[in-house]
Amino acid sequence: MACRGLSLMSGGLDSQLAIRVLQRAGAEVEAVCFSTPFFDISAAKKAADALGVKLHIVDFTDDEISLIENPAHGFGGAMNPCIDCHALMIRRAGELMTELGYDFVATGEVQGQRPMSQNKQSMGIVEKCSTMKGRLVRPMSAKLLEPTIPELEGKLDREQLLDISGRGRERQIALAAEFGIVDYPSPAGGCKLTEDGFCRKLKDLMDHEGLHDRTLVDLLTVGRRFRLPGGSSVILGRDRIENERLSSLVARLPSSVLVKNDSVPGPTALVPELKSQDDLELTRQIVCAWSRGGMGREMLKTFQIC
């Protein structure tokens, strides 16, 4: 029976190359990505389709929230628990690997490419915390690392794996041309937990309502945010699609209030839990200020989070 594995898929170039390198080394490979409000999986879907591999989508929101609330290895530059997040993703992929009876989990990591999360020490911590020692294959840098069980058993041809290291991208770009991979995003974090504006909204939600309500967590990607003097949170739609989404969620938030200006085009405001009548009046002022022809936004920005 052929060697079979699951490879983590972000949609970036390295994750796509990892699959092609593993296939060249004799493996049957399927992809796995993790769905949360904190990162977009559309690139992973697109890449898996282009590569012609099956994509498993795993809901990772509760896992990510637990890491944000208690990151064992701390945060990166913002509120990104990269080391713990990556280790837990690999562990979840390992659980799926066991369920399917597959042989390994792979990633597109390149040793030394990211100074904090992909140095030798961090990669070792990830492997240990993921509980996948011996079954975690990193095909892009495999020849710089200890052989894994599939390699030692002869199921994966180690000679076909790579020895890439460092932050340069020349070898990856050349490999992309060799494998016919032409559509890939420029290298970037891709995670909202690295974005200052998003993290301000996340920190405000943590400090007030908490992260236990999935609806409120999902709404972190929607609208402008305000925290009013009475303690109410205001989510202000930025366009028609966001206005409609906010309106549709009132039924899922029993204590919520919806405020909009029917006389002129403008935003819809959702207040998940109204704390005072003064906050309601201020919400009306915010809606009017951001409506067509509205004025006085500078004063109201005192309460704006992002």
Question: pLDDT tens for residues 29-74?
Answer: 999 999 999 999 999 999 999 999 999 999 999 999 999 999 999 9
What local confidence, expressed as pLDDT, does residue 301 receive? 75
13-22, 168-177, 182-191, range with the lowest pLDDT: 182-191
Average per-residue pLDDT for the chain: 93
- Checking if the pLDDT of 188 tops 70, the result is no
- Checking if the pLDDT of 232 tops 80, the result is yes
What local confidence, expressed as pLDDT, does residue 117 receive? 67
What local confidence, expressed as pLDDT, does residue 306 receive? 76
Q: Which of 76, 92, 74 is nearest to 189 (CA)?
A: 76
Work out the average pLDDT over 274-287. 95
- Checking if the pLDDT of 294 tops 90, the result is no
What local confidence, expressed as pLDDT, does residue 122 receive? 85
- Checking if the pLDDT of 299 tops 70, the result is no
Work out the average pLDDT over 194-210. 96
What local confidence, expressed as pLDDT, does residue 119 receive? 79
